[in-house]
Chain A
Amino acid sequence: MKAPAFSYLRADTLAHASALLREHGDAARLLAGGQTLLATLNMRLSKPQLLIDIGRLEALRGIELRDGFLRIGAGVRHVDIERSAVVAQHLPLLTQAAPHVAHAAIRNRGTLGGSIAFADPAAEWPACALAADAELILGDGARERRVMAGDFFIDLYETDLRPHEVLIALEFPLPGPARRFAFAELARRHGDYAIVGIALAADVTGGVLSDLRIAFFGMGNTPMRALGAETCLAGSAADAATMSRAVDSLDEDMRPDADLHSSAAAKRHLASVLLRRAVHDILQPEPVR
């Protein structure tokens, strides 16, 4: 099928994009990589009257180190993160997660900001942003505000982004020398949205875990932290008894909805498998960088 008729405008500046959003409201959609939006249009599941192309906005570009932060523009494509040496060196969590984001063809066009702002509950980037404690920069060309990833995702496809705002960039705090990351997901086929996935960040000192951030995706309406498991595992070397207590705590923290393919019980089981895998991975001696 082909998309219904729509108008197209290319925004020159952030303020321009924001002004168009104010003018057209719910009838307008921002177009970045178009990997979700255009598919939805082609299937006629949505009929916006106007697409505002933000693909050429300078403000959304670039991967760069700033004092204490790794800043990645919202318009940066998945493939650029996957291949970035700076990201691999400073925030390997994103490098580990990138190959799981859909298929290569989609990674060539889809953007980090698109994935975050769309906030699919089973998408990889929102969970990575949560695990790596990223700060999101939102703006309308005149004003900027910052929101922590933990506060940004509100409910199913619902975020703190206001109707006239554009997601500009994500800032990830640079991890200390003891910080380690692990990422794992289970999908029916490679490239599908995950049934369940996990992004894990923790300090590892002499085989002992501390300062954990465990973010699951596909387990609820937003990416969510397994706070009980974080508390259980903190200060431990993840011995069998602690691990099984951490796994049990997942039932307290997460009540996933069943979908057409997996029951809630199956999802809970997969989450426990992933938690064990991720903790095992993070405790492996790290290869020399």
Chain B
Amino acid sequence: MELQGEQRINASRDEVWRALNDPRVLAKCVPGCEEIRRISDTEMEARLLAKIGPVRAHFSGRIVMHDVVPPESCRIAFQGSGGAAGMATGESKVTLTAADGGTRLNYTVQAAVGGKLGQIGGRLINASARKMADEFFQALNEQLAPDAAPASVPPASVAASSPSAAPSRRLPAVAAGVPSAPSATGPVWASEFQRILWLVIGTGVGWIACRAFSL
């Protein structure tokens, strides 16, 4: 089986690289992942429940990274066994390139699937693998995109934002869009503007709260 794909992730190359090397992030993003443990700098062990149509198979496997060039590329060799369901071995190459404000991630996977999963699943292996890859990158994007924001969000705003949840949720989206602005003065102006905005909102909310309680 061969699979290749490209994903855009709204975070810097360093952040994506760090996330891909962090078992905690991976555990949240790998579909059906139950556990990921780091054994050494380049080796991890994982246990996951693969849900593909009628199949519910526990896989446990080992992931070894080599040819590591941070934060650009690496090769990932994996080997997994699913008991009666079968086994899978393969290799994947991941390349990260910076692309307008985010990161472009290219991956290729070559894998061999054996046992019953290969026999009856052969027809759908590619589609299933692609679906799992899509789910993984979507989850990764969701993990990373909100984290991209705090750099441009003044910490002072946190206290003021607590009374109303809606603006605090909207803010990261605004801030995430800021770094992609080509003008050098843009981000500075925007973060200053936000600081003032939050000051105004904070004062306003405080004032309303005082009024409400005194009545």
Residue numbers of A with Cβ under 8 A of B are 1, 36-37, 40, 43-48, 118, 120-122, 155-157, 193, 220-221, 257-261
Contact = CB atoms under 8 A, between A and B. Distances in A.
Given A45-B117, A259-B127, 15 more contacts: A40-B55, A43-B120, A44-B84, A45-B56, A47-B56, A118-B53, A121-B127, A155-B131, A156-B53, A157-B54, A257-B130, A259-B122, A260-B125, A261-B122, A261-B123
Interface of B: 1-2, 52-57, 83-85, 116-118, 120, 122-128, 130-131
A83 B125 CA distance: 35
Contact of A45 (B2, B84, B123, B124): B84
Given A37-B54, A155-B131, A44 B122 contact: no
A156 B127 contact: yes
Contacts of A260: 1, 118, 122-123, 125
Nearest to B2: A258
Given A37-B54, A118-B54, A120-B53, A43 B125 contact: no
A45 B116 contact: yes
B131 A121 contact: no
Contacts of A193: 123
Contacts of B52: 156-157
Nearest to A46: B56
Q: Chain B at the A interface: mostly helix, strand, loop or mixed?
A: helix
Nearest to B118: A260
A45 B127 contact: no
B5 to A, nearest CB: 11
B124 A156 contact: yes
B125 A259 contact: yes
B84 A43 contact: yes
Q: Chain A at the B interface: mostly helix, strand, loop or mixed?
A: loop
Contacts of B2: 258
Contacts of A122: 123
A46 B55 contact: yes
A47 B117 CA distance: 15
A257 B83 CA distance: 27
17 contacts: A1-B84, A36-B54, A44-B83, A44-B84, A45-B55, A45-B84, A46-B56, A47-B56, A121-B127, A157-B54, A193-B123, A220-B127, A221-B127, A259-B126, A260-B1, A260-B125, A261-B123
A59 B168 CA distance: 50
B130 A43 contact: no
Contacts of B124: 121, 156, 259
B57 A45 contact: yes
Contact of B123 (A1, A44, A118, A259): A259
Contacts of A45: 54-57, 84-85, 116-117, 120
Nearest to A45: B55
Contacts of B83: 44
A221 B135 CA distance: 14
Contacts of A36: 54
Contacts of A261: 122-123
A120 B122 CA distance: 14
Nearest to B84: A44
A119 B116 CA distance: 21
A144 to B, nearest CB: 26
Contacts of B54: 36-37, 40, 45-46, 118, 157
B170 to A, nearest CB: 29
B123 A157 contact: no
A258 B84 CA distance: 25
Nearest to B113: A260
B123 to A, nearest CB: 5
